Amino acid sequence: SAVISQKPSRDICQRGTSLTIQCQVDSQVTMMFWYRQQPGQSLTLIATANQGSEATYESGFVIDKFPISRPNLTFSTLTVSNMSPEDSSIYLCSARSWGTEAFFGQGTRLTVV
Amino acid sequence: EDQVTQSPEALRLQEGESSSLNCSYTVSGLRGLFWYRQDPGKGPEFLFTLYSAGEEKEKERLKATLTKKESFLHITAPKPEDSATYLCAVGGSNDYKLSFGAGTTVTVRA
């Protein structure tokens, strides 16, 4: 099983600023994903982080708001840009290789004030 | 589009009172049905993967089963530490993405 380290674990940010969340996997994985989870709700996929190419975004999410990097097979970042209170949520990093289960980080709890 | 529906939304059990959670799914070419446990403030923790109808997996008080249209997570003689939200997800043949259900929040009272 893969171990995923995600940081920061929580942050309180001013509206209009940006926050970059880091995700480090302890082994090489094929795919990495970024999810958002509102309190008491399930996971919503933001995008798939592709190594060596642009991320693939789900409907309702755009690169200008959530730029993603994946420089290698074990690391990815998600930036939440120009934040507003509506961006307050838990952001989760996930990693998976074909034919295996997905593993998750512990999440980043973001509060925008 | 893959779809996953979990029921009930919430389940309150007395310690020792066995019950089952349901996960109904539609997917193009099932490549795995996954069960996760999520505790408050934490990321989902992997429990089981099921690949084909008739398959069963067990871990302590949990047992997962799979048919062509749904999966059940049976909790036998639950303890308070089994209290959590249980998430079901499916992987289809199209890509690596998993589609998640909304989850069932289980509360076990001592």
- Torsion, Cα of B58, B59, B62, B68 (10° steps): -30
Q: Taking all residues of chain A, what is their mean pLDDT, rounded to a whole number? A: 94
Q: What does the pLDDT average to over A27-51?
A: 92
Cα separation, B64 vs B50, in Å, equals 8
Which stretch of A27-41, A64-78, B8-22 has the lowest confidence by average pLDDT? A27-41
A4 part of contact set with chain B, CB < 8 Å: yes
How far is B41 from chain A, CA to nearest CA, in Å?
8
pLDDT of the residue at A34: 98
How far apart CA B108 and CA A95 sit, in angstroms, is: 31
The rounded radius of gyration (Å) of the Cα atoms in chain A is 13
Distance CA A92, CA A37 (A): 8
What percent of chain B has pLDDT above 70?
98
- Measured CA distances, A104 to A34, A70, B90 (Å): 10, 16, 16
Mean pLDDT over A12-25 rounds to: 98
The fraction of chain B above a pLDDT of 90, given in percent, is: 84
- Among B90, B98, B99, which would you mutate to test the A interface (most chain A Cβ atoms within 10 Å of its Cβ)? B98
Q: Tell me the per-residue pLDDT of B73-88, one tens digit each, with 9 for 90 and over.
A: 999 999 999 999 999 9
Best mutation target among B6, B30, B59, B97 (most A Cβ atoms within 10 Å) is B97
